[in-house]
Amino acid sequence: MEPTKPEQEKNTPSFRQGVSGLPWDMKTVLIWTALCIISIYTPVINQSFIRLILALPLILFIPGYMLTAALFPDSTDIDAIERIVLSIGTSIIIAPLIGLCLNFTPWGIRLDPIILSLTSVIVVLVIYAGIRRNRTPPESRYTLPVPEIRRVVQNEWNSRNGSKRDRILFFAAVFAIGLVIVSAALAITLPKPGEKFSEFYILGENRTADSYPQVIHPNISYPVYVGIGNHEFRTVNYTVEIYLVPQSVNEATGAGVQVEMLPVKIYTVTLDHNETSIVPFELTVPGPQYSSIDFLLFDESVPGSDITGSDRINASYRHLHLGFNVTTQSGLENITAIR
């Protein structure tokens, strides 16, 4: 007998059934993802070990697990060990691919775009995997075998057939695996001495690393932007000093000699770890005797006013030099180069 239309609709998996009937492991993935996002954006918690515990599975296991669940909804497709290996392996591939794609977008590789992209990928995979699993016959449908895992552990602990030595070795192996995971997590997240640094850069008028003024006219303003990025794993009070530098020529060698610098602007900015500051600056040259401008970055150690010239440049934490030619000819030239 042919099934009636209502029966056909009842037996045909739909998108809505796939979403509402998500298995418990997929619901756990969604809850875990939500808790991870909360831990990242909640003050105090985002500086604690809780963030690490929640974030590592989100990067190293969950994306691959959901992709594997979508590709192999049947429990007979692959065994448990293969599923775990594929989950970890594909997660290690998915996360860098997301970063590579973001690198070619206007948003770049930043925290918010990464979280949004990774969460979107996980949600899409959860929905698709839920639909595919609901379309699989119940008798062969894959389910996370938590009861079986618990039963194996209990049997190993309570087994009278195995020796006490076997039980100790079993749990020592479990402890060793957990220790390796925690050690890897600490190695990834804890700062290393060589990784502490500060960014110091100049951007052109379009806030990009080009369009720097090279040929300029006296008393005309040319916009540039001074950027600082704190990656020192602490709060830093930065001082920026900007000087116009005239050049004289050594008659003996013909080489340029730096003479007295003209202070143009001095300002301070306090940045927390991973915080960035971009400050606009109007480059104005009073006359043709100046041929470059120097940007000096100091952290907490700012030398006294008796330290001048090249000694002050050498005492700076970071140093940027922008060269240009001053012309009094009519007409503005737009040459985008930096020396």
Residue position matching structure tokens 């839920």: 130
Taking only the tens place, the pLDDT of each residue in 193-247 is 557 889 999 998 888 877 888 888 888 999 999 999 998 888 999 999 999 988 6
Q: For residue 240, give both structure tokens.
A: 């920026």
Number of other CB atoms surrounding residue 227 within 10 Å: 15
Q: Residue 304 carries which side chain, given as an amino acid letter?
A: G
CATH, domain range 196-326: 2.60.40.10
Residues 181, 185, 191: CA angle, nearest 5 degrees: 155
Q: Which of 226, 217, 214, 225 is nearest to 335 (CA)?
A: 214
CA dist., res. 78 & res. 146, Å (int)? 17
Taking only the tens place, the pLDDT of each residue in 78-137 is 877 778 888 888 888 898 898 888 888 878 778 888 899 999 999 999 999 988 888 888
Q: What is the CA radius of gyration of the chain?
A: 31
Per-domain residue ranges of the chain = 5-144, 196-326
Residue 258 pairs in a beta bridge with 247
Name the pTM for this structure. Answer: 0.47
